[in-house]
């Protein structure tokens, strides 16, 4: 993973190969093209929106993993409190990925800085990829020029996974980590834990660690024991 302009590193798992794309194939294909520099979207980028834990951050970081030093990942949920100086130096990147843009909506200094950054990136032939929990028309941006600029981005809505797709997503992530997660163990985990993918992936990480320590296969009894240990801690 490449070091970014900001003091932040990408998550090791956040790559396109570990993202279960079912129902979001067009979005993933578009983002891969952006990351590869082969997009024909005319130098704009994309606006990605969806509910929490549907993979927005994963996809933004996957772009940056693939594009390397041509890109920058900017999580505004982390950097909002530090002020818009966090954006300095980003205009030189071909791909700027802005996560959680709604976190600074209504802040005039941030909105002005983002508008300036958009103009600089576009003028240089770069692209902006923005993620939010809502569609552009619902985002409470107050600066008309910024709202207009954002409205030019192609919009993609991330579709949430159903239960069978969650099982497949867990198994894909497990394989990416070198872990075998049988169907029955994956379904057992899904039925007895929080159902959002962030929580499920967190439990999968714990299962991977505990299986490595115990040198055990991830069977239902093993999953049950780890869940009981997690609940009691």
- At residue 41, the pLDDT reads 52
2 part of a folded domain: no
**What is the helix (H) or strand (E) element at residue 110, kind and residue range?**
helix 108-123
DSSP assignment of 145-156: HHHHHHHTS-EE
Share of the chain above pLDDT 90, in %: 79
**Mean pLDDT, residues 36-63:** 86
How many angstroms separate the CA atoms of 160 and 107, rounded? Answer: 30
CATH number of the domain to which 212 belongs: 1.10.8.60
User: Average per-residue pLDDT in the chain?
Assistant: 90
- Between residues 39 and 96, which one has the greater pLDDT? 96
Same domain, 91 and 194: no
pTM: 0.87
1 part of a folded domain: no
Give the residues across from 39 on adjacent strands: none
Question: pLDDT tens, 71-100?
Answer: 999 999 999 999 999 999 999 999 999 999
Q: Which two tokens stand for residue 155?
A: 């919009």
How many angstroms separate the CA atoms of 175 and 190, rounded? Answer: 17
- Between residues 12 and 52, which one has the greater pLDDT? 52
Q: Which residues contact 150 (CB under 8 A, 6 or more apart)?
A: 47, 101, 118, 130, 136, 139, 141
Give the total number of structural domains in the chain. Answer: 2
For residue 116, what are the domain limits? 16-157
CATH number of the domain to which 116 belongs: 3.40.50.300
């Amino acid at each position: 993973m490449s070091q970014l302009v900001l003091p932040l590193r990408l998550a090791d798992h956040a790559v396109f190969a570990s993202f279960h794309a079912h129902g979001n194939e067009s979005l993933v294909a578009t983002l891969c093209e952006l990351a590869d520099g082969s997009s024909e979207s005319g130098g704009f980028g994309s606006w990605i929106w969806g509910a929490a834990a549907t993979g927005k951050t994963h996809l933004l970081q996957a772009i940056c993993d693939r594009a390397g030093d041509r890109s920058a990942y900017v999580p505004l949920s982390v950097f909002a409190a530090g002020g818009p100086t966090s954006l300095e130096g980003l205009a030189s990147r071909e791909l700027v990925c802005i996560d959680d843009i709604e976190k600074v909506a209504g802040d005039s200094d941030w909105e002005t800085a983002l508008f300036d950054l958009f103009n600089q990136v576009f003028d240089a032939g770069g692209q902006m990829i923005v993620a939010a929990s809502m569609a552009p028309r619902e985002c409470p941006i107050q600066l008309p020029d910024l709202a207009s600029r954002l409205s030019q981005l192609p919009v993609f809505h991330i579709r949430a996974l159903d239960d069978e797709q969650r099982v497949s997503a867990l198994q894909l992530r497990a394989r990416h980590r070198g872990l075998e997660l049988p169907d029955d163990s994956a379904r057992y985990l899904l039925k007895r834990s929080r159902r959002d993918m962030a929580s499920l992936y967190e439990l999968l990480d714990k299962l991977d660690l505990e299986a490595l320590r115990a040198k055990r296969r991830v069977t239902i009894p093993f999953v049950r024991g780890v869940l009981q240990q997690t609940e009691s801690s």
